[in-house]
Amino acid sequence: AQSVTQLDSQVPVFEEAPVELRCNYSSSVSVYLFWYVQYPNQGLQLLLKYLSGSTLVKGINGFEAEFNKSQTSFHLRKPSVHISDTAEYFCAVSDEPAAGNKLTFGGGTRVLVKP
Amino acid sequence: GAVVSQHPSWVICKSGTSVKIECRSLDFQATTMFWYRQFPKQSLMLMATSNEGSKATYEQGVEKDKFLINHASLTLSTLTVTSAHPEDSSFYICSASPGRDSPLHFGNGTRLTVT
């Protein structure tokens, strides 16, 4: 069984400051990790994914994440946030590399960017 | 890019009535679609996997007779909430992928309010 824990339910941050969203997972098999963003009353948009290879993954909108197998983590970072980054962020895991399969989501982290 | 359209975006219905939600892949075919449910300020919970031309696969705890899924074509899956009750009020999101090696695309969700 897989599970995903997002340690912070809310993260307030000032505009142009860096942000890190924490994600830890547990799985008995190989994992494939994803970060999604959800804007109010909308579906989810893929930010980035780790399937294999380099543990540092770069995504859209200036986000990046680092896969750390020993710490079972996949934290999301952005060096300088914008007001438009205010949204809900979800970490997700799958036991198959193709994202076109079932995902297990974390509880989400709400990012509020303040001017 | 691949687009998943969900309709309606919001619906209000009376207790005891049924509501149908449509999920369409607009520019690709999807043999599999996924239906998620999201409570306020919570994560997405997978309800079922919709398989074109066959029965849906429901997650544990999801009532098959209450949440009817029909995947009659490669571009359309429907979720019908039968005999809706106020506790069924939620945000329902569908997702689909052009193929197993392609990312999931999410619809914009349907907010259901049962009065």
A38-52 residue pLDDT tens: 988 788 899 999 988
What pLDDT was estimated at residue B62?
95
Torsion of CA B112, B102, A109, A114, to 10 degrees: -100
For residue B108, the chain A residues in CB contact (below 8 A) are 41-43
Cβ contact (<8 Å) for A103 and B46? yes
Residue B108 C-alpha, separation from nearest chain A C-alpha, in angstroms: 4
Entry field: residues in chain B: 115
What pLDDT was estimated at residue A95?
78
For residue B8, the chain A residues in CB contact (below 8 A) are none
Res A110 pLDDT > 80: yes
Mean pLDDT of chain A: 90
- What average pLDDT does this structure show over B71-81? 94
Please give the Cα distance from B88 to B85 (Å, whole number): 5
Question: Token pair of A86, please?
Answer: 């205010």
For residue B98, the chain A residues in CB contact (below 8 A) are 100
Res B2 pLDDT > 60: yes
Question: Token pair of A114, please?
Answer: 């303040």
> To the nearest 5 percent, what fractions of chain B are helix, strand and coil?
5, 50, 45
